[in-house]
Structure formats: C-alpha cells, structure tokens
C-alpha cells in the first residue's frame, strides 16, 4: 500500500529534531558514497499566451540507502515574469493561491511506491533542518545568541532548527515589515520558549550575535559585511540557480532570455571575509552555473579551497570549525532531493505509527509484466 498525506498534517508528523537526525545520516552517507542525488535541478519554463505568467516545472531527485527512501520532488506552478520587487507569483493573473508541488517516495529495497506527499511544508522543514545542522557543526561551541533576517516560513523553520541544536538565550529578528516582525515574535516565542526581540535596524541583528541566519529572498544585501566580527557563523538559504545573468554581462549573451542581473541577500564581501564557506554541493554550484559564487571564483576574489561540503564535515571527511575566531558562512547551493528523502522517511514512519493519511493500493501505479516474462520477453522500462 502507498500512503497519501495532506499538507496540513506534515508539521505534526515531522518534528524538527527527528528531521535533523535523519538528514545528518543522509548527508554523511552521501559524503561516503551511499546516498545519491542528482546535483542539478531539472527546470522547465514555458511562456503562456495572453498574459504575463509562465508555467514552471522543477524536479529534484535523491535517496539514502540507510533510510531506505528514494525521493523525487516535483514542483508545478505558475510564476509572474515581473522582477525587482514587483509581483513574484501569478495569483493576480487568474491562477489560484495553491502550491501544487509533491514529493514521491519509493522503497529502495523493493522499488515500490511508498508515499505521495505535498511538498510545501516539507520545503521549509528541509531548509530549517539544514540550517540546524550547519549551526551544530560550524557555530562556536558556546553560541547562544541568534540574529535572524526574515520572518516567513523558512525563517521560522531556520530558527527552530537552530534551537534544536543550541541552547539559545536570545534572538533578535528584523524584517522591513513591523507587523511581520511582531507576528514572528508572538508565534516563535510560544513555540520555542526563547526570548525573541523584534529590532528596528539590521545592524541590531548582527551586532552581538553568535549565529546570523538570513532567509529573506532579497536580491540586495540585508547587512553590511563590515559588521561581522571574528567567531561569527552566517547562514544564508538563498542560492542563485541557472540561468541567472552573471555579474559579468557577457555570460548572459548565450541565453535567449536570462533573468535580470541582480544580487543576493548577502554580499560578495561576506564570502570573501569568510575563513571557510560550507555548502551542500560544490558539484551543484558548477552544474547549475551559480554565478553569485562562480563570478567570485573566476575573479580570484574567493578560492575553491575555502569551500567544504556540509556532508563531508558531518562524516569527518573534512574539517569543520578549526578555532573560535573563524568567520564561517553556510551558503546554500539549492534544494536537493536527498533533503526530501530524509524528511519523507520521518513523515512515513510517523504517519504509519499514528495511523495518519490515506492508504491506496500501490499497484495502481505499477504495471503487471508477468505475461511478458512468461513468454521470455524483458520489456524496456
């Protein structure tokens, strides 16, 4: 039987501490060669006639032998072509306000379909768990004070992930919207039982923080790298996927309709100042031609020697923080299917244990090839 679970049930089935444990196993396994994922998002964009929206399909694949889960994340949605602070979704073009992405799980020992899960809530959880693991392995041992930029779904998951691995004493949060700041403080203070303070200036987030977490979606830097001091750990959830224009406009000439030249929520100087930059996948940065990193490497501003993969650090195959004075940055290389496999394994286990979700016959999604095999044929996949 295969399991269907509603999005509104996902958070209750996926405690952050359990997700962090599963993802820790999966990333370490990947570093040892036992947890494959495809290091490039498959992305298809199609213009729509008669309006300014476009259809986008995005796919990510990854799995873990130890967790016995292979996942494929499929995101199907409409987006607006407007950029630079204008509309970033297509709801006002006549489309609905729903997220139609799903994650499909398969059993790696039998190849059978295990579950179909909505991916919206899972997406925030995967980022939060990764942020938590980064803080566990890369922040200073006594890190207790957090500064956080952003108040949305991902920011909340990020703070929860950090709180799972560190005994926090204070959190300062900033976003440009005072109402969003107040809402964040109310919800997260109740959820985490931590002192959380809404601040009025970005500098108040960075000053005095052991951990600076950035998850805003901004295309301009949200803080000045000069505010950083030795020993701080900075985490940014933003990646710059293909096909974004390079800071060098010549790179963009090979694309018919590249996205506009823009920046990111942390500036180049932050990466340059860092003693070490951790990421999920160097291969993904290269395969997707993520120019916010590669432009700096091509210019000699940052060296590849500064980059280490988080999974290799967890597995003990690469060093993490080597002293209390290092400035370390975790730079996202984008979502990977392996994250969804880790979260999916937790959801699947807890849903079966608690009797949550709708079971359906798995053979609805398979084909009976016995008659072909009896005749000596081996049909192609």
Domain assignment present for 233:
yes
Q: What is the count of structural domains for the chain?
A: 2
Residues 90 and 156 in one domain: no
- Residue 17: the pLDDT is 97
Give the predicted TM-score (pTM) of the model.
0.88
Residues 63 and 149 in one domain: no
Domain assignment present for 231:
yes
DSSP-assigned states of every residue in 31-75: HTTSS-B-SS-EEEEEE-TTSSEEEEEEEEEEEETTTTEEEEEEE
DSSP-assigned states of every residue in 345-375: HHHHHHHHHHT-SEEE-GGGGS---HHHHHT
Per-residue pLDDT of the chain (381 residues; tens, 9 = 90+): 999 999 999 999 999 999 999 999 999 999 999 888 887 777 777 766 666 677 888 899 999 999 999 999 998 887 765 443 444 454 445 556 788 899 999 999 999 999 999 999 999 999 999 999 999 999 999 999 999 999 999 999 999 999 999 999 999 999 999 999 999 999 999 999 899 999 999 999 999 999 999 999 887 899 999 999 999 999 998 776 544 444 455 544 544 444 444 568 898 899 999 999 999 999 988 888 887 888 889 989 999 999 999 999 999 999 999 999 999 999 988 888 999 999 999 999 999 999 999 999 988 888 888 899 899 898 876
Domain boundary among 300, 315, 331: 331
Residues 325 and 342 in one domain: no
Domain assignment present for 380:
no
Domain assignment present for 379:
no
Domain assignment present for 381:
no
Residues 243 and 115 in one domain: no
Q: DSSP 3-state assignment of 301?
A: coil
Domain assignment present for 42:
yes
Domain assignment present for 157:
yes
Residues 312 and 360 in one domain: no
Domain assignment present for 113:
yes
Asked whether the bond before 66 is cis by omega within 30 degrees of 0, the reply is no
Residues 164 and 38 in one domain: no
With left for phi above 0 and alpha for psi between -120 and 50, is residue 326 left, alpha or beta? Answer: beta
Residues 87 and 139 in one domain: no
Residues spanned by the domain of 284 = 123-331
Residues 103 and 134 in one domain: no
Residues 177 and 71 in one domain: no
Q: DSSP 3-state assignment of 332?
A: coil
**Chain centroid offset of residue 46 CA:** 24
What does the radius of gyration of the chain's CA atoms come to, in whole angstroms? 21
Residues 151 and 100 in one domain: no
CA torsion 300→301→305→310, rounded to 10°? -140
User: 235: domain CATH number?
Assistant: 3.40.50.720
Residues 301 and 312 in one domain: yes
User: 343: domain CATH number?
Assistant: 3.30.1780.10
Residues 94 and 130 in one domain: no
């Amino acid at each position: 039987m295969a399991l269907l679970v509603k999005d509104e049930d996902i958070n209750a089935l996926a405690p952050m501490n359990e997700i962090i444990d599963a993802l820790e196993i999966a990333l370490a396994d990947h570093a040892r060669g036992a947890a494959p994922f495809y290091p490039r998002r498959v992305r298809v964009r199609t213009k729509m006639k008669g309006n300014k929206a476009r259809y986008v399909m995005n796919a990510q694949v990854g799995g873990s032998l130890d967790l016995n889960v292979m996942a494929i994340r499929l995101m199907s949605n409409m987006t607006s072509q407007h950029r630079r602070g204008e509309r970033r979704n297509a709801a006002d073009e006549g489309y609905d306000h729903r997220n139609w992405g799903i994650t499909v799980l398969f059993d790696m020992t039998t190849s059978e379909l295990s579950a179909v899960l909505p991916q919206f809530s899972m997406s925030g959880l995967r980022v939060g768990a990764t942020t938590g693991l980064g803080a566990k392995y890369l922040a200073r041992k006594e890190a207790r004070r957090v500064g956080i930029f952003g108040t949305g779904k991902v920011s909340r998951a990020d703070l929860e992930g950090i709180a799972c691995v560190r005994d926090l004493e204070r959190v300062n949060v900033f976003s440009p919207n005072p109402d969003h700041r107040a809402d964040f403080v109310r919800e997260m203070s109740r959820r985490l039982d931590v002192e959380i303070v809404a601040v009025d200036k970005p500098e108040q987030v960075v000053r005095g923080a052991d951990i600076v977490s950035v998850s805003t979606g901004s295309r301009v830097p949200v803080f000045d790298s000069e505010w950083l001091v030795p020993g701080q750990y900075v985490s940014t959830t933003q990646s710059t996927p293909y096909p974004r224009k390079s800071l060098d406009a010549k790179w963009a000439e090979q694309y018919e309709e590249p996205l506009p030249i823009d920046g990111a929520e942390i500036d180049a100087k932050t990466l340059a100042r860092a003693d070490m930059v951790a990421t999920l996948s160097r291969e993904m940065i290269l395969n997707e031609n993520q120019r916010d990193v590669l432009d700096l490497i091509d210019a000699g501003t940052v060296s590849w020697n500064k980059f280490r993969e988080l999974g290799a650090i967890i597995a003990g195959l690469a060093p993490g923080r080597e002293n209390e004075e290092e400035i370390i940055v975790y730079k996202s290389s984008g979502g990977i299917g392996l994250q969804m496999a880790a979260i999916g394994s937790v959801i699947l286990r807890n849903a079966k244990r608690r009797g949550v979700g709708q079971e359906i016959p798995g053979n609805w999604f398979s084909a009976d090839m016995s008659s072909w095999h009896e005749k000596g044929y081996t049909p192609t996949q």
